Structure 1
Amino acid sequence: MRTILVVGGGYAGFYTAWKLEKKLRRGEAKVIIVDPRPYMTYQPFLPEVVAGSVEARHAAVAHRRHLRKTQLINGSVTTIDHAHRTVQVQPAVGESFPLAYDILVVTAGAVTRKLAIPGVAEHAIGMKHVEEAVAIRDRMLTAFDHAATLPRGPHRRRLLTVTFVGGGFSGVEGFGELMSLGQALVKKYPELDPAELSFHLVEARDRILPEVTDGPGRWVVEHLEKRGGHVHLNAQLRSATDGHIVLSTGEEFDSELIVWTAGNGANPMVHNHTDLPIDARGQVVVRADLRVGTPEEPIEDAWAAGDDAAVPDLAIERPGAATVPNAQHAVRQGKLLAKNLIATLRGRKARPYKHASLGVVATLGLGRGIFQWHGIVIKGFPAWVMHRGYHVLAVPTWERKVRVLAVWITAVFYGRDIVSLASVQHPRQAFETGGEPARATADTRATPDTRAIADTQAIADTQATADTQA
C-alpha cells in the first residue's frame, strides 16, 4: 500500500483527501493529512462571521467528522525532502519527527502578507482565520459598550473608529459587513450618536476589487461612501503606532480596531524549506495536470494545488498565465488532483486543469452585494441573494449547509446577536479576582478590554506561526 501525504488541510487539501476517500479501493493507498488546525476554514463566510450572520463554528469544517478514513496529524510540516520522500513534522505537542511517504501533495496555502509598517504587528489583526473574524467582531462590540460610558470626545471617537487596510475581496466584504453591523448596532445605544461612527478603507491602488472591471469597482466605492464609509484610494498606511493612523495622503486619525487584509504571500515553508522547484513568487512550479515540475521535467510522485501552486491557467489565452488564488480554483483543483492521483495509481493518464471563471460575487453588508460575469453586472439585493445562495451551495457537507441556513432563517425574525464574548480569551479572570472589579491602569484612555485583545492577538500570532511552518 502506498502512502499519500497531504501537506495542509485547507480547501485543496481537504477536497483532495475527501475525494480520495470516496474513490480509493480497499488497500490501494493510505492518506495522511498534516495541518496545525483540525478543520478547514470556509473563508468566504468570514465577513459574515465578523458581522454575526454566520456562527464561527459553522465556517469551519471539522477534519475528523468528514475524513474518517484519513490519518490526521495535528502539526506543521517544517521541511520537505522529496529526494528522500520524507518530511519533518512539528506536532502541536512533543518533539518533531520525520514522516516518510510515497506520494506528496502540497496544499499548504498562503499566509497573510505583512509589511514592516510601525504599529501593524502590535495593533492590527488579520482576517484569514475563524478566530480572527471572531476577535474583530468582539472587539467592535466591546468598543461600543465602553464608548457608551464615556462623554463625547477623542477617546469615544477612537473607540467608534474602524480601519480596514486592503481593498481586495476580503477587505471590501469585511468592511461592508462590519459597517452594516455597526450602523445597526448603534441604534441599540441611545447614548451614542450614529454620526460618531467612522469606518475607513485604505487601498494603495486607484481602485478596489481588482477582480471586477472599472465600472462596477467605481460603483462599489460610491455605494460604500453613500452609506457613510471613507474609502481612501491611492493611499498607503505609513504608521499605526498606538492605533494612530497615518496615511501617505497626509490624513491622520485614531482607530481602535485595525484590520489588515492587504493580500497574501507565499508560504515560507514552501518557499524556503523544500527541494521542489519554486518560481519567483515563492509558489511551487506545477504543470497543467497539477504534477509538480514542467512539461519537460516532471517531478515524480509530487503534486500541488491551491494558493501555494503556480497552476497554468488554460482558460486564459495568455502565455505564462496562472490561476488566481481563490476558493473557486482551490476546490476544483483539489477534486481534480484526487482523480489524477487515482488515475496514475491505476496506470491511466492525468487530465489537465481547466476552469473558466463563474464570475465574482461579493457581499457589501446585509442585503447589499455585487455580482459580475463578463459584461453582466448585478447590484444590490439580488446580488446579495446570489452571494448567499452560491456559498450555501458551495460550503462542503449538508451538515454545514443546514446549520448555516438555520442561522440565517433565525436572523430574519430575531436579528443578529450583539453579545461580545471577548472575555472568553481569559476565562480564569473571574475565578482569579473572586468577583473584585478590575483595577484601573495608569492609562486612563477608555479602550476595549486590553487583556482580551492582547490574548486574542497572541492566539492569532501563534496560529500564524503554525501556518508559516505548515
Structure 2
Amino acid sequence: MRTILVVGGGYAGFYTAWKLEKKLRRDEARIIVVDPRPYMTYQPFLPEVLAGSVEARHAAVSLRRHLRRTRLIAGSVNRIDHAERTVTVQPVDGEPFPLAYDVIVVTAGAVTRKFAIPGVAEQAIGMKHVEEAVAIRDRLLTSFDRASALPPGPQRQRLLTVTFVGGGFSGVEGFGELLSLATSLLKAYPEIKQTELAFHLVEARGRILPEVTDGPGEWVVRSLERRGGHVHLNTQVQSATGGHVVLSTGEEFDSGLIVWTAGNGANPMVRSHTDLPINDRGLLVVRADLRVGTEAEPVPDAWGAGDDAAVPDLALGHGAVTVPNAQHAVRQGKLLAKNIVASLRGRTPKPYVHHSLGTIATLGLGRGIFQYHRIVITGLLAWFMHRGYHVLAVPSWERKVRVAAIWLTAALFGRDIVSLASVQHPRRAFVTGGDPQEHLQLVREDAATR
C-alpha cells in the first residue's frame, strides 16, 4: 500500500485525513498524521472560551477519537526531503527519526507572527490554541480577585488593564468577548467600578476587521468604544517591557494582561526546511487543484492546503490567493481528500473554487456583526447567526451537542466565573504544605515574573 503522510492536524490536515478514511478502501493506502497536539483546535470558538461561553475541551476535536484508521504521531516534522520521499520527525520525547512516504500533504499551519518589540515575548499571550484562551480567561478572573482586595492605585489599575494587539478577527472577537466578560463580572465584584476597567485594542492600520467594508468596520469601533473599550488606530506598540505598554502615539500605561493577535507568519519548517517550492512570503506554491507546484511544473505526489499554502483564489481571479481562514481551510481539506483519491485512481483532480459565504464575528454576549456583499446585520440577530453557523460547522455531532448544551446552561445559570489559574502550578499546594504565607509568597513571585 502507498503511504499518505499528512503534516499537521489542524483544519486542513484533520479534514483531509478524516475524509480520506471515508473514501479510501482499506487496502488502498495507509494514512499517517504528524502533529504535536492530540487535537484539532476549532479556532472560531476561542473567543468564547475566553469569555467562558464554551468549555475549553469543546473547542478541541480529538484526533484519536475521529481518525480511527490513521496512524497518529505526536511530534513535529522538522524537514521535508521530497526528492527522497522522506521527512524528519521530532517526537515529543526521544530523538528525531526519518519517516518515509509515497504521497505528502503539507498542512502544517501558520505560526503567530511576532516582531522584535521589547517585552512582547516575555509578557504577551497568543490566541491560536485552547491553552492560550484558557490562560487569558484565568488571568482576567485572577486579576479581578486580586484587584478587589487592593485600594485604588497603580497596582490595582494595572490588574484591571487589558491590552489586545492586532485588529483582525481574532483580536476584535477576543477583545469584545473578554470585555463582555469583564463587564458582567462587576456584579460579582461590587468593590470594582466600571470606570476602573481599561481595555485597549491597538491596531497599526487605520481600520479594524479588514474582511468587512469601511462602514461596518467603523460601526464595530463605535460599538466597542460605547462599551468602554479604547480603540487605538494607526498605532503601534513600541515596548511592553515589564507590562509597561508604550504606544507610538506617546501614550503609556501599565497592563496586567497583554494578548498578541497581530497576524500569522509562515511556518518555519515550510519556509526554510523543505525542497518543495515556496514563494517570497515563505508559503508553499500550490496549483488550483491543490497539487504543489505550478501549472507548467507540478510536483509529483505533493499536495498542500491551509494557512501555509498560496492557493489560487479562482473566485477572485487576478492572481489572488485564498486568505488564511477557517472557511477555506475546511473546504480545501475536503477537496484535497477527493483529489488525492482521484489521483490514486487515475482520475483528474478538480480545482478549488469557493465563493465567500460572508463574514461574521462575535463581539460579546448578544452582540455580533455579519456582512455578505452589501447586506449588513448587527447586534443580537448577527450574534445568533454566528452561534448557529459555528455549531453547525464544528466537526462531529458529539461536539455540536456538547457546545449547544453549554450554551443552554450558560443562558439559564450565567457564565462560570471560577479561575483555575492555579492549575498551571499543580504542585504549589503540595510544596507549601498548606502554609498560607508561603503560598502567597509563591503567588507574588509568579506575578512578578509575568
TM-score between the two structures when normalised by the length of structure 2: 0.98
- Give how far 1:192 is off: 1.2
Distance 1:282 1:382 in 2: 40
1:22-171 alignment, distance < 5 Å: 22-171=22-171
CA distance in 1 between counterparts of 2:304 and 2:227 reads: 43
Alignment of 1:135-284 (within 5 A): 135-284=135-284
Q: By how many angstroms is 1:450 displaced?
A: 5.5
Q: 1:441 to 1:431 in 2, by over 3 A?
A: closer
Report the number of matched residues.
Answer: 450
Find the residue that maps to 1:189 and give its secondary structure. Answer: coil
Please tell me whether the aligned partners of residues 426 and 452 of structure 1 are also in contact (alpha carbons under 8 angstroms).
no
Aligned AA (2:446): R
* Residue number in structure 1 paired with 2:431: 432
Question: Does the CA-based 8 Å contact 2:429-2:439 persist in structure 1?
Answer: no
Q: What is the rounded CA distance, in whole Å, between the counterparts of 2:445 and 2:385 in structure 1?
A: 39
Shift of 1:194: 1.5
Q: Distance in 2 between matches of 1:16 and 1:46?
A: 22
Distance in structure 2 (CA, Å) of the matches to 1:349 and 1:200: 51
SS at match of 1:403: helix
Matching residue within 436, 446, 449 for 1:451: 446
Q: 1:451 offset after TM fit, Å?
A: 2.7
Whether the 8 Å contact between 1:139 and 1:453 is mirrored in structure 2 is no
User: What amino acid is the match of 2:313?
Assistant: D
Cα offset for 1:187?
1.4
User: Percent identity among equivalent residues?
Assistant: 77
2:324 corresponding residue in structure 1: 325
Per-residue deviation, residues 31-84 of structure 1 (Å, max 9, x unmatched): 000000000000000000000000000000000000000000000000000000
Task: Tell me if structure 2 keeps the 8 A contact 1:283–1:309.
Answer: yes
2:335 corresponds in structure 1 to 336
Residues 142 and 449 in structure 1, CA contact (< 8 A), matched pair in contact too: no
- Consecutive unaligned residues in structure 1, runs of 5 or more: 458-470
Spell out structure 1 runs of 4+ moving beyond 4 A.
Answer: 440-443
Structure 2 residues not aligned, in runs of 5+: none
* C-alpha distance in structure 2 between counterparts of 1:81 and 1:452, whole Å: 45
Match of 2:357 in 1: 358
CA RMSD of aligned residues (A): 1.4
CA contact (8 A) 2:73 2:91 kept: yes
| Post-superposition offset of 1:193 | 1.3
- The residue number in structure 2 matching 1:467 is none
1:297-327 CA distances to partner (integer Å, 9 max, x unpaired)? 0000000000000000000032x20000000
Look up the SS of the partner of 1:416 in the other structure: coil
Q: Deviations over 1:231-252 (max 9, x none)?
A: 0000000000111110001111
Tell whether the 8 Å contact from 1:89 to 1:96 is kept in structure 2 after alignment: yes
- Counterpart in 2 of 1:294? 294
**Deviation (angstroms), 1:452:** 7.5
Q: What are the superposed Cα offsets for residues 346-379 of structure 1, whole Å, 9 maximum, x if unpaired?
A: 1000000000000000000000000000000000
Tell me the equivalent position of 1:397. 396
Cα deviation, residue 441, structure 1? 8.6
SS in 2 for 1:323: coil
SS of the residue corresponding to residue 378 of structure 1 reads strand
Between the aligned partners of 2:281 and 2:239, the Cα distance in structure 1 is: 26
**Is the CA contact 1:422–1:452 (under 8 Å) kept in the aligned structure 2?**
no
Partners of 1:302 and 1:270 lie apart in 2 by: 13
Q: Does 2:359 align with 1:375?
A: no
Counterparts of 2:210 and 2:190, CA distance in 1: 39
The aligned counterpart of 1:306 is 306
Give the number of the structure with larger relative contact order, counting CA–CA contacts within 8 Å between residues 6 or more apart.
Answer: 1
Cα deviation digits, residues 370-428 of structure 1 (max 9, x gap): 00000000000000000000000000000000000000000011000000000001111
Q: Which residue of 2 is the match for residue 463 of structure 1?
A: none
Any idea what the Cα deviations from partners look like across 1:74-113, whole Å, max 9, x if unmatched? 0000000000000000001111100000000000010000
CA separation of 1:450/1:401 partners in 2, compared to 1, >3 Å: closer, same or farther?
A: farther
Please give the secondary structure, in 1, of the residue aligned with 2:436.
Answer: coil
SS class of match (1:190): coil
Partner of 2:187: helix, strand, or coil? helix
